[in-house]
Amino acid sequence: MSDPAPGQPSGGPRITRRTVQVILGVIWLLDGALQFQPYMFTRDFLTQVIQSSAQGQPAVVSDPITFAIHLVQPILVPANAAFAIIQVLIGLGLIFSRRTVKAALVVSFVWALTVWWFGEGFGMLTMGMASSLTGAPGAVIVYLLIGLMVWPTDRPERVSAASGGPLGDAGGRVVWAVLWVLLAVLMFLPDNFGRAAVSQTLAGAAGDAPGPLSSLDTALAHATAGQGVWLGILLALIMTVVGLGVLVDRGRNALLAIGALLSLLLWITTESVGGLLTGSATDPNTGPLVVLMALALLRRGAVRAQAPAVAEPASHRSRSPEPAGGDGGAAP
Going residue by residue through the chain (332 aa), what tens digit of pLDDT does each one get? 333 444 444 444 489 999 999 999 999 999 999 999 999 999 999 998 899 889 889 999 999 999 999 999 999 999 999 999 999 999 999 999 999 999 999 999 999 999 999 999 999 999 888 999 999 999 999 999 999 999 999 999 999 999 999 999 999 999 999 999 999 999 999 989 999 999 999 999 999 998 899 999 999 999 999 999 999 999 999 999 999 999 998 899 999 999 999 999 999 999 999 999 999 999 999 999 999 999 999 998 744 434 444 444 444 444 444 444 444 443 33
The confidence score (pLDDT) of residue 108 equals 98
The confidence score (pLDDT) of residue 174 equals 98
The confidence score (pLDDT) of residue 211 equals 87
The confidence score (pLDDT) of residue 301 equals 72
Closest CA to 159 of 16, 18, 308, 6: 16
Indicate the pTM of the whole model.
Answer: 0.86
The confidence score (pLDDT) of residue 325 equals 41
Helix%, strand%, coil% for the chain, nearest 5: 65, 0, 35
The confidence score (pLDDT) of residue 91 equals 98
Closest CA to 85 of 139, 44, 26, 36: 36
Helices 252-268, 168-186: inter-axial angle, 10-degree rounding: 40
The confidence score (pLDDT) of residue 303 equals 44
Q: What are the E-state strand segments in 55-98? A: none
Q: Are 37 and 48 in contact (CB under 8 A)?
A: no
CA 90 to chain centre: 16
Q: Give the C-alpha separation, 108 to 62, whole Å.
A: 23
Give the angle subtended at the CA of 307 by the CAs of 303 and 309, to the nearest 5°. 160
Burial class from Cβ neighbours inside 10 Å (0-12, 13-18, 19+) for residue 199 reads buried
**ω into residue 6 within 30 of 0, thus cis?**
no
The confidence score (pLDDT) of residue 312 equals 47
